[in-house]
Amino acid sequence: MGRTDRGAAPEPTVHEADPVSRPEPRGLSRRGLLGLAGAGVAGLGLGVGGDRVAQAAVAAASPSAAVYPFYGAHQAGIVTPAQDRLHFAAFDLAADATRDDLVALLRDWTAASASLAAGAAIGQFGAASGSYDAPPEDTGEAQGLPASGLTLTFGFDPALFETPAGVDRFGLAARRPPLLVDLPHFPGDLLEEGRGGGDLCIQACADDPQVAVHAIRNLSRIAFGRASLRWSQLGFGRTSSTSTSQATPRNLFGFKDGTANIKAEEPAVVDEQVWVPAADGPAWLAGGSYLVARRIRMTIEAWDRTILREQEAVFGRTKGEGAPLSGGTEFTEPDFSLAGRGDTPLIDAAAHVRLAHPAQNGGARMLRRGYNFVDGNDALGRLDAGLFFISFQRSPEQFSRVQLSLARHDALNEYTRHVGSALFAVPPGARRGSHIGAALFA
Amino acid sequence: MGRTDRGAAPEPTVHEADPVSRPEPRGLSRRGLLGLAGAGVAGLGLGVGGDRVAQAAVAAASPSAAVYPFYGAHQAGIVTPAQDRLHFAAFDLAADATRDDLVALLRDWTAASASLAAGAAIGQFGAASGSYDAPPEDTGEAQGLPASGLTLTFGFDPALFETPAGVDRFGLAARRPPLLVDLPHFPGDLLEEGRGGGDLCIQACADDPQVAVHAIRNLSRIAFGRASLRWSQLGFGRTSSTSTSQATPRNLFGFKDGTANIKAEEPAVVDEQVWVPAADGPAWLAGGSYLVARRIRMTIEAWDRTILREQEAVFGRTKGEGAPLSGGTEFTEPDFSLAGRGDTPLIDAAAHVRLAHPAQNGGARMLRRGYNFVDGNDALGRLDAGLFFISFQRSPEQFSRVQLSLARHDALNEYTRHVGSALFAVPPGARRGSHIGAALFA
């Protein structure tokens, strides 16, 4: 048996983003695009213990060959089954950027994103392009890796339409969706400088972090001179399922998260709660959504010293299976009226599952797509860890309504601190030959 | 088809660490240990488009079922095929910690590590243990995940034996290996506060970052009151192969890295270059190694503006395949004497591959096991990215010799900055019933 090669791993699975889009041609591996790469590694023998070691490597590499088309009626990365890893980035446009620069940037980002999502490199390098005297168009660290289910999702901050000082830099102020205003200050918010704002955002999700990082790096590079990275966040583990085919993952409190999340297999709910309908306006946003991002620091050391009974009371679910404390299994609907001994409700009045439940929030739901993060540790030796919350919804009001209720009463607040916040309007998907946000400039 | 479940995924592959160790009993999934978890999720139907989505989820989840035994003649995580993800942590012992505290901590860490490496939780929680009125022993975020090839590798800093002020806190000064002294200051070093030092280190490697993070978090928690986290580093992508069964990965310069690395399949080389032989002394370190860690920040924005010809000249290899510029394929031995036009050597005098080559360093080699990192971005919008270099060697002198040569002449220095540095003595593996470092205290 020869060397394993991530690039030569399983056949890619190509998915249609939605019924309206046309399927992408089968994704080429980046390796396939490079004349220089990939030759001469087959057929090398294994040494002592080789067979057993090889088995491990096959299990370990296990690349994701999923390919999601970039073009479509909606942007990918929303109802797409949540990938395992995240690199999220927000950008400021250059002070001297013009409306034409902005359109050109979106056009360039669109073309590059379509290549990246297909598992291809940006451009070519080396002998194939004859460009030894130019910097390689692609930075190269994802050569040989499959598409890994990469999606790139673009959003527009309120500041793109009008700066906080009221400056209409790009002639877009009149086209700002009335709902696209900075989120309100919620009780307990402790927002930190450099963890919000920007003009544009890109959410890169993939099953291989190197693929997500490669995408953000190369899109940043394409923006050079026109827009620069303002803040960014890596997430190592998804905390929500967006498909019934996925097992519910766990957050860093050790609890299953997102059991009641909106799933791609509920198209009526997705239409009702996630996509902006034409009737809501503005027209350029029809088929788009609103993205809320919140960096939620967890004080996990305090949490870890809390007794199990209290942890479960705080969530209103069991820690093992994730079943509501009113009984049943993970997917049993919670019964908030059920009382135990002394007429105390089995699910506490301040329990997270109660306060976040649509029944307590006028039916408001969100499609959650957050990620666990650990960004080193602070000077006291505490892990800088938590949840990078991401949700998509038809209106920011869905988030605000639930968050206001949580911020006031949620028992979980004792163990969390919201330190970053951002809101973006997510335009609909781009059609082939066009670009992200085209209708905004039409 | 029902829900996929990482915990119920492929049968674990159990590996023997080395010929001396006994194989671990087949690793149980954490889910298996928990009475509460895992019931009731099978048999749920899929909605619209379910089949296609399910295929993606299977490809995406692709958990690594590899299990490496914790006990053995050598510690795991050195010649183990390099896993995909890293969480590295250094700890300071508490000011009032005694020698007995230190031994007890190593004993506790050993027991917990053996469980974690087997894919099991630490202790139990919930109904199974009847401990609703105690904090759960395990924090829970890895419940349901397989072992994911987790290895935990422990090391001792020079300060454990004697503080820089000369204090022998634990009666170990006389047992300090003469070679275990802080690394010299190398030309160009720009070491930052909080990126080195500590008394002990733990290298956690796994194919799932959530499993590596879970291990460091729980080991930190076990140390509460006895030792605290001083610094830590997450790495998202391995930059070296340590087995001929693995494809050579790429660093964030976009080049293949570690082509000429020491491989597990070369036992004679491993014995010669990696393990401390009894003859070298001290006796307690026989079968151990020395671990060097260096945080190397890359100025990738400058690199990305460099022409391909220059990039390849800096490395001395092609960017596509990774072949030496003297010709051949990736695994062809470089010919440093071969000259091209005008008698200029094909591999530059300052090329990284030349200066790092054993032939230029008295035969010195290292087993490299580094990881790519991205830790957000700085205020100028530059990614805080680079290589967290890790190497294992029989003597720190192997590293110092090569690094001195590189620090003086390497063309790559224009694009890198060494900002963190640490050296640890890595004791041999623990035998079942004993603990890591037992011989040091015998």
pLDDT digits (tens, 9 = 90+) for B371-385: 999 999 998 999 999
Give φ, ψ of A46 to 5 degrees: -100, 150
What average pLDDT does chain B have? 86
Q: Which of residues 162-221 of A touch B (CB under 8 A)?
A: 194, 207-210, 213, 217, 220-221
* pLDDT value of residue B129: 57
Inter-residue contact A117 to A207 (CB < 8 Å): no
Q: For residue A52, is it within any domain?
A: yes
| CB of A84 closer than 8 Å to CB of B84 | no
Q: What is the pLDDT of residue A131?
A: 79
> Does some domain include residue A374?
no
What number is the average pLDDT over the span A159-169?
96
Residue B335, in any domain of the structure: no
In this prediction, residue B19 carries a pLDDT of: 34
Q: Answer whether A81 sits within 8 Å of B138, measured CB to CB.
A: no
For the CA atoms of A147, A151, A152, A158, the dihedral, rounded to the nearest 10 degrees, stands at -170
The pLDDT score that the predictor gives to residue A129 is 57
More confident residue, A108 or A259: A108
- A10 CB neighbour count, 10 Å cutoff: 13
In contact, A283 and B114? CB cutoff 8 Å: no
Picking from A48, A245, A262 by the largest number of B CB atoms within 10 A of its own CB, the best residue to mutate is A245
Strands B66-67 and B13-14 turn out to be parallel
Cβ–Cβ of B81/A13 closer than 8 Å? no
A41 touches chain B (CB under 8 A): yes
Q: What is the pLDDT of residue A128?
A: 52
* Tens of pLDDT, residues A338-365: 999 889 999 999 999 999 999 999 999 9
The tokens describing B259, both together, are: 């082509």
Per the CB < 8 A criterion, the answer to whether A281 and A177 are in contact is yes
Q: Which of residues 98-127 of A touch B (CB under 8 A)?
A: 125-126
Find residues 317-336 of chain A whose CB sits inside 8 Å of chain B. 318-321, 329-331
How many Cα atoms sit within 13 Å of A182 on the Cβ side? 13
3-class secondary structure per residue, A224-243: CCCEEEEEEEEECEECCCCC
3-state SS track over B47-70: CCCHHHHHHHHHHHHCCCCEECCC
* Residue at A241 is within a domain: yes
Residue A119 lies in domain: 6-298+423-441
Does B292 fall in a domain?
Answer: yes
Considering only residues B116 and A62, tell me which one the structure prediction assigns the higher pLDDT: B116
Cβ separation of B135 and A372 shorter than 8 Å? Answer: no
Average pLDDT score over residue span B35-63: 31
The model's confidence at residue A130, banded by pLDDT at 50, 70 and 90, is: low
Q: Residue B273's closest CA among B262, B281, B257?
A: B262
**Does residue A41 belong to any structural domain of this protein?**
yes
Q: How many helices (H) and strands (E) does chain B have?
A: 11, 12
User: Over the stretch B176-229, which tens digit does the pLDDT of each residue have?
Assistant: 999 999 999 999 999 999 999 999 999 999 999 999 999 999 999 999 999 999
CA nearest B55 in A: which residue?
Answer: A13
pLDDT at A5 over 70: no
The verdict on a CB contact (< 8 Å) between B237 and A39 is no
Whether the pLDDT of residue A10 is over 50: the answer is no
Rounded to whole angstroms, how far apart are CA atoms A56 and A49? 11
Of B47, B141, B250, the CB nearest to A143: B250
Count Cα atoms within 13 angstroms, Cβ side, for B84: 25
Which helix (H) or strand (E) segment is A205 a member of? strand A200-206
Average model confidence (pLDDT) across chain A: 86
Q: What is the dihedral of CA B256, B299, B82, B231, to 10 degrees?
A: 170
B366-421 tens-digit pLDDT: 999 999 999 999 989 999 999 999 999 999 999 999 999 999 999 999 999 999 99
A-proximal residues of B, 253-282, CB under 8 Å: 253-255, 263-267
- Find the closest chain A residue to B331 by CA distance: A41
Cβ-nearest to A64 among B62, B131, B385: B62
Using a CB–CB cutoff of 8 Å, tell me whether B23 touches chain A.
Answer: no
Residue-level length of chain B: 442
**Cβ(B110)–Cβ(B103) under 8 Å?**
no
| A383-393 and A367-368 strand pairing | antiparallel
pLDDT at A6: 32
pLDDT for residue A33 is more than 70: no
Measured between beta carbons, which residues in chain B are less than 8 angstroms from residue A217?
A: 252, 300, 383, 385
Identify whether the C-beta of residue A308 lies closer than 8 Å to the C-beta of residue B126.
yes
pLDDT at B130: 59
CA distance B55 to chain A (A): 8
Per-residue model confidence as pLDDT tens digits over A201-248:
999 999 999 999 999 999 999 999 999 999 999 999 999 999 999 999
Specify the pLDDT at position A341: 87
- Work out how many domains chain A is built from and give that number: 1
B83, B209, B267: residue with CB nearest A60: B83
Q: Which of B206, B358, B257, B189 is nearest to A144 (CA)?
A: B257
Tell me which amino acid residue A8 is: A
What residues of chain A lie within 8 A of the CB of B48, using their CB? 265, 267
CA distances from A217 to A60, A210, A339, B252, B372 (A): 25, 10, 53, 10, 13
pLDDT recorded at residue B17: 42
Task: Classify each residue of A217-249 as buried b or exposed e, where b means 16 or more C-beta atoms within 10 Å of its C-beta.
Answer: bbbbbbbeebbbbbbbbbbbbbbbbbbbbbbbb
Check CB contact of A240 with chain B, cutoff 8 Å.
Answer: no
B63-102 per-position pLDDT tens digit: 478 999 999 999 999 999 999 999 999 999 999 999 999 9
pLDDT in tens, A166-200: 999 999 999 999 999 999 999 999 999 999 999 99
In a domain, B198, yes or no: yes
Estimate the crossing angle of helix A99-117 against helix A209-222, to 10 degrees.
Answer: 150
Report whether pLDDT(A13) > 80.
Answer: no
| Residue A312 covered by a domain | no
Residues of chain A with C-beta less than 8 angstroms from the C-beta of B238: none
Best probe of the A interface among B79, B218, B308, B310, by most A CBs < 10 A, is B308
Q: What is the crossing angle of helices B99-117 and B209-222, to 10°?
A: 150
Closest residue in B to A83 (Cα) is B60
How do the residues of chain B divide into helix, strand and coil, expressed in percent and rounded to 5?
25, 20, 55
**Euclidean distance between CA atoms B170 and A284, whole angstroms:** 69
